[in-house]
Amino acid sequence: MKTLVVEDSRTNLKVVCHYLERMGITPIPAENGTKAIDLFISERPDMVLLDIILPDIDGFEVARSLRQLEQPGDWTPILFLTSMTKDEDLEKGIAAGGDDYIHKPVSDVVLGAKIRAMQRIIQMRYSLLVLTRKLDTANQELKRLTSLDGLTGIANRRHFDETLGREWRRSMRQGAEFSILMCDVDLFKAYNDTLGHQAGDECLRQVAQSLAEAMDRGGDLVARYGGEEFAVILPETSLAGGMIVAERMRQAVEALNIDHPTSANGKVTISIGLASGIAMPETDPAKLVKTADRALYHAKHEGRNRIHAITSSDSNEE
């Protein structure tokens, strides 16, 4: 443990440092406020013993400076060394950032007791910080887990809805284009009925993984929307850009070569609905999702394993 000792009297400085050394504490001596601030920056002591009357700047100002130098969440105990006994002096010291007083002449018994008390506070504070970090880590992990779909490991519907709102508002500020894909595994009920639910679950996991791997931008998101349906958010993406991503996804699933006994081509495929529009204050992202869902219905109706696109400008005509 290191303690910064700020005392302009060389005799008092030597005495206090000697007391500290006997307690197994490393003293860092300073004879004025300017040097004390410099040593605080370079040494980062665990505690500060600070004389109030100094030759350059007084201890109150030094204490305020030290508090300003601390990083968020840091705390270094500051104990004033002083012969002042008035209540207003005590109040002024606490207001400046001090934590306690040790009256001069310094008694080794009182000094030892005060330091041990501060050490206990430091230890308790450290324990609380460790616990807080553990709780923060646990909360972050919990948040991550609650945003994932338990079966496929990709984002779930809740995370999709949260991301959609956030990305829509961001795109709205820029007046940017925005695209949504709705993807559905073709004839999945028949696949489940024929091969069983375990095979169906494995199929969904592989499809989800292939869709996720087909994404090439950090801001895009693919999520399991429900059942065998997946949804994709493509911020700042035009209809043409959405078509490129959609086709890449369709091909990725087809390339899995998962056998499908009741499919026309004998393989698992997906159909995709694409909706694209401009993010504006008077528009609702939920409407774009519905439009993409309607486009998905058309892709299914047209024969499956294909993409159907609708822009917001022609969505009312569909």
Q: Can you tell me the mean pLDDT for 118-126?
A: 86
Number of domains into which the chain is organized? 2
How many Å apart are CA 74 and CA 125, to the nearest integer? 10
Cβ-in-10-Å burial (0-12, 13-18, 19+) of 64 comes to middle
113, 130, 147: which is the final residue of a domain? 130
Residue-wise pLDDT tens digits, 5-29:
999 999 999 999 999 999 999 999 9
How many Å apart are CA 160 and CA 139, to the nearest integer? 20
CATH assignment of the domain containing 114: 3.40.50.2300
Q: Is the pTM for the entire model greater than 0.85?
A: no
Average pLDDT, the chain: 91
* Cβ pair 275, 295 in contact under 8 A: yes
Which of 19-23, 209-213, 251-255, 308-312 is the least confident region?
Answer: 308-312
Say whether both 97 and 203 belong to one domain.
Answer: no
Where in the sequence numbering do the catalytic residues fall?
228
Residue-wise pLDDT tens digits, 233-284:
999 999 999 999 999 999 999 999 999 999 988 999 999 999 999 988 888 8
The secondary element (H helix, E strand) that includes residue 204 is: helix 197-213
Instruction: Scan for tokens 């990709």, then name that residue.
Output: 154
Let me know if residue 151 belongs to a domain.
no
**pLDDT above 80 (res 314):** no
Closest CA to 197 of 228, 155, 169, 242: 228
In this prediction, residue 317 carries a pLDDT of 43
Let me know if residue 32 belongs to a domain.
yes
Let me know if residue 262 belongs to a domain.
yes
- Tell me the residue range of the domain where 50 lies: 2-130
How many Å apart are CA 112 and CA 153, to the nearest integer? 57
* Band of residue 318 on the pLDDT scale cut at 50, 70, 90: very low
Say whether both 44 and 119 belong to one domain.
Answer: yes
Phi first, then psi: give them for residue 70, nearest 5 degrees.
-70, 145
CA 228 vs. chain centroid, Å, equals 30
* Cβ pair 152, 225 in contact under 8 A: no
Let me know if residue 232 belongs to a domain.
yes
CATH assignment of the domain containing 194: 3.30.70.270
Let me know if residue 146 belongs to a domain.
no
Residue-wise pLDDT tens digits, 96-106:
999 988 888 88
